[in-house]
Amino acid sequence: MAGTVHSLSTAGMGPKRQVQYWSDALTDLCGLFAVDPLDGSTLDARINYTTVSKLKLCQIEASQHRIAHAASPSHTSEHPYVKILFQTYGISYFEQNGCQIQIRPGDCLAYDVSSPHTIISPALTRHEVVIVPKELLRERGFHFGKMSACKLSALTGTGRIAHDVVHAAFGEAAKLSANSAASVAESLIDLLLLPLREADTAFDRAGPEAMYVRAQAFIREHLRDPELCIDQISTSLGCTKRYLHMLFSERGMTVSDYIWRARLQHCRQELETHGGKTITDVAFSWGFSSSSHFSRVFRKCFGVSPSAIHKGQHGGASADVI
């Protein structure tokens, strides 16, 4: 059942059974892992996990151990997740792509599960983990070809806020309706990405800016289409409407504002340079379907009527005055 908290534990099992059970538990959650209890005679481990829409939230405690995810013949397609790990107790050592990172209580680590990696915990550790499907991040303009693991602080700023909300979401997951869970998951993903954006991580560095440039290019190419809208743009670019709204709002405008301003700029340019066209011809050729609407928004944008521009440039009465 969605939102239900599930619990798994190796308590009461023989040492060999503990290792296999723990490996199976991790594999079911996010990918194939080999488990080594190191020098320990037993592997004492437990996990509580739940879901909030498409997100998996986990609380994990384990005695000394090493987990390893090796390269897969199917490469990245088998484990399409990013993990956001909050260390709450003990020290762990993370290795991936030649990079070694020590993780202490108060640290947050974000990494691509699909890339081979190991985590060594020499003694008891506890951490809280959010497992995020990559598809949800791609919708927000993120690409993972060169994603590097990133360690951040969860003690202050946006990192602490993100951790506090993750902790609260785990406790309340069972009480959420399906619609509420979907909304909480959307907000939680955006919140988790805040500290990563602030750190300018490799998988985010060009994402939003590149997507904004692509959106501008698509709009320019389809500006004359009167049916051009945010649904068409988001479908073409493979991102959500919500993400597009965010990209443009961060630059002080809506997607619709950008489209109409671009159309008006082209209309003014044509009115100033193409004397053989009527004002209505110009307006309709750039996606306007109403002369009165065109005149109103043109005056609002430029402070003059389109007929004034047309007359001023061509020294006579316009063929259609609006």
Q: Note the pLDDT tens digit of each residue in 43-57.
A: 999 999 999 999 999
Nearest to 207 by CA among 155, 267, 134, 275: 134
Note whether residue 149 is domain-resident. Answer: yes
Neighbours of 207 (CB within 10 A): 20
**CATH number of the CATH domain containing 11:** 2.60.120.10
Tell me the per-residue pLDDT of 214-232, one tens digit each, with 9 for 90 and over: 888 889 889 999 899 999 8
Residue with tokens 């990563």: 196
Q: What is the pLDDT of residue 215?
A: 87
Describe the strand order of the beta sheet including 34-36 as a list of residue ranges. Answer: 34-36, 65-69, 117-121, 92-96, 99-103
Residues 131 and 167 in one domain: yes
Least confident of 41-50, 89-98, 113-122, 309-318: 309-318
Name residue, tokens 């521009």. 309
Least confidently predicted of 26-30, 113-117, 131-135, 238-242? 238-242
Residue 219, C-beta contacts closer than 8 angstroms, at least 6 positions apart: 228, 233, 258, 259, 262
Considering the domain architecture, whether residues 176 and 229 belong to the same structural domain is answered as: no
Question: Which phi and psi (to 5°) does residue 83 adopt?
Answer: -105, 135
Do 231 and 196 belong to one domain?
no
- 96's tokens: 């991936």
Whether 79 and 150 map to the same domain: the answer is yes
What's the start-to-end Cα distance of the chain, in Å? 62
Domain that holds residue 293: 206-322
